[in-house]
């Protein structure tokens, strides 16, 4: 999509047209708002065109609701919240993203198009002599972006199998059911049933439909995280035998949870996670491949990025530190590389993989993060890792 800069004369014209448009909608609109926002919005010619010529009546209703919701609640005397682009879903990003016109018109608000080419990916062998991590990023169709990380154990055979076969399995199941939650649930179970060997892997998959609807499916301890308003929001829980619910399920299946000499909880003394792909010898003892599925709706006015990571990163960096690193990066690829480098600097001894998916507010919260010389504690408490109980 061609990108154009908008000069001051165009800005004045746009401000006038926008004010006129909003007056027709009976909206109180401060002139300063347009002038304040022009740097981040008006340089996008496609957004200007969209706002003035493509919006349907839904947009009208969203604008009216933004200024009258407090009155409807019986608070007529209270101050109305100022109308802002963020209040009805537009983005304020330092990273250029094209507009997804069809979805924007359908939902009555501007929605960026996020594709596989926008995603930043980095994997590193780290200090190990072998690499068991694998990842996969793909536009399955024009509406659906899919990303996944797989952290193998006992060798790379299982993680390699997952990365090589997940696309075909997803596409086949997508034809059977368009429901994203069912799609992920069935695909992860099929991935496991297709691989019946002793080696194993984690599996964390992200499906992003129309850049708006997000579904995460996972087994194991590879993580998914959303940065909202500059703060981390965990989208997954580690499947570890130190978790009381997971431990109870393992023990009810005849398995034992043993603590090793460095404090890790292990199923039958062999595996530090309670769910995985593969690990055929531990399936009778409660190490299931049944995934947890989570759904959330992306708010591009507040959300900066989605992140998938393996435990080589999670073991040495907490969620807040991860957000600080990524919020300082100019683009997703630089962010993924910086994150793995920071984890290595913090003495990570595992393989490391990061997938960074930019959202509408990319770079918006960089000022809220601390300086680039992060205040990471050298003597961090490793017992807080999911691998320890």
Which fold would CATH assign to domain 119-384? Phosphatase 2c; domain 1 (3.60.40)
311, two tokens: 């435990």
Cα four-point dihedral sign 53, 56, 57, 58:
negative
pLDDT in tens, 308-345: 999 999 999 999 999 999 999 999 999 999 999 999 99
| Res 230: pLDDT | 94
pLDDT band at 362 (very low <50, low <70, confident <90, very high): very high
What dihedral do alpha carbons 328, 332, 333, 338 form, nearest 10°?
A: 30
pLDDT at 7 over 80: no
According to DSSP, the residues that pair with 123 across neighbouring strands are 353
* Identity of the highest mean pLDDT range in 47-51, 254-258, 368-372: 254-258
Query: Contact at 8 Å (CB) between 273 and 265?
Result: no
DSSP class per residue in 32-99: HHHHHHHHHHTT-HHHHHIIIII--HHHHHHHHHHHHHHHHTT-TTSPPPPP-GGGGT----SS---B
Residue with tokens 């740097």: 39
| Residue in 205, 268, 267, 207 with CA at minimum distance from that of residue 239 | 267
CA distance 100 to 90: 12
pLDDT at 19 over 50: no
Question: Per mean pLDDT, which range of 68-72, 90-94, 183-187, 235-239 is the poorest?
Answer: 68-72
- φ, ψ at 177 (rounded to 5°): -145, 120
CA distance 149 to 124: 13
Containing H/E element for 158? Answer: helix 157-176
Buried b (16+ CB within 10 A) or exposed e, 218-236: bbbbbbbbbbbebebeebb
| Residue in 267, 340, 345, 265 with CA at minimum distance from that of residue 310 | 340
The Cα-based distances of 336 to 54, 151, 307, 325, 332 in angstroms read 36, 17, 9, 9, 6
Question: What mean pLDDT do residues 190-211 have?
Answer: 96
Helix axes 31-41, 8-24, angle to 10 degrees: 130
| Residue 263 DSSP label | S
Residue with tokens 């929605």: 111
Question: Per mean pLDDT, which range of 11-20, 124-133, 214-223 is the poorest?
Answer: 11-20
| Res 86: pLDDT | 43
pLDDT in tens, 134-152: 999 999 999 999 999 999 9
| Res 88: pLDDT | 42
Provide the 10 A C-beta neighbour count for residue 350: 22
Cα four-point dihedral sign 312, 316, 322, 325:
negative
pLDDT at 178 over 80: yes
- φ, ψ at 268 (rounded to 5°): 55, 25
Three-class DSSP labels, 190-204: HHHHCCCCCCEECEE
Question: What mean pLDDT do residues 189-193 have?
Answer: 97
Question: What mean pLDDT do residues 260-268 have?
Answer: 92
Structural domain boundaries in the chain? 8-88, 119-384
pTM higher than 0.85, yes or no? no
Judged by phi (left if over 0) then psi (alpha if -120 to 50, else beta), residue 38 lies in: alpha
- φ, ψ at 78 (rounded to 5°): -80, 160
Residue with tokens 């530090």: 272
Provide the 10 A C-beta neighbour count for residue 293: 17
pLDDT in tens, 35-74: 344 444 444 445 445 454 544 444 445 444 444 444 444 4
């Amino acid at each position: 999509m061609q990108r154009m800069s908008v000069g001051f004369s165009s800005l004045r014209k746009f401000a006038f047209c926008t004010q006129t448009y909003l007056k027709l909608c009976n909206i109180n609109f401060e002139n300063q708002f347009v002038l304040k926002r022009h740097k981040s919005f008006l340089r996008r010619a496609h957004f200007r065109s969209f706002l003035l010529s493509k919006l349907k009546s839904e947009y009208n209703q969203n604008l009216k609701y933004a200024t009258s919701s407090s009155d409807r609640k019986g608070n007529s005397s209270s101050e109305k919240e100022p109308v802002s682009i963020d209040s009805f879903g537009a983005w304020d990003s330092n990273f250029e993203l094209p507009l997804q016109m069809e979805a924007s018109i359908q939902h009555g608000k501007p929605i960026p198009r996020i594709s596989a080419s926008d995603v930043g990916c980095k994997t590193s062998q780290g200090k190990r002599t072998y690499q068991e991590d694998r990842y996969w990023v793909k536009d399955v169709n024009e509406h659906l972006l899919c990303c996944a990380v797989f952290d193998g154990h006992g060798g790379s055979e299982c993680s390699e199998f997952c990365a090589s076969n997940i696309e075909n399995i997803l596409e086949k199941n997508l034809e059977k059911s368009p429901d994203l939650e069912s799609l992920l649930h069935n695909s992860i179970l099929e991935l496991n049933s297709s691989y019946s060997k002793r080696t194993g892997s984690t599996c964390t998959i992200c499906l992003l439909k129309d850049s708006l609807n997000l579904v995460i499916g996972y087994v194991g301890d590879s993580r998914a995280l959303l940065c909202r308003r500059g703060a981390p929001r965990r989208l997954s829980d580690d499947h570890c035998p130190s978790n009381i619910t997971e431990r109870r399920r393992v023990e009810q299946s005849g398995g034992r949870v043993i603590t090793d000499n460095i404090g890790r909880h292990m199923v039958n003394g062999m595996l530090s996670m309670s769910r995985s792909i593969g690990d055929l010898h531990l399936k009778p003892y409660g190490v299931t491949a049944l995934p947890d599925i989570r759904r959330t709706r992306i708010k591009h006015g507040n959300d900066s990025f989605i992140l998938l990571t393996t435990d080589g990163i999670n073991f040495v960096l907490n969620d807040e530190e991860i957000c600080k690193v990524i919020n300082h990066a100019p683009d997703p690829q630089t962010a993924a590389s910086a994150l793995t480098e920071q984890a290595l600097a913090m003495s990570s001894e595992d393989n490391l993989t990061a997938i960074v998916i930019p959202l509408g507010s990319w770079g918006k919260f960089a000022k809220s993060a601390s300086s680039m010389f992060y205040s990471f504690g050298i003597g961090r408490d490793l017992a807080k890792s999911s691998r320890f109980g």
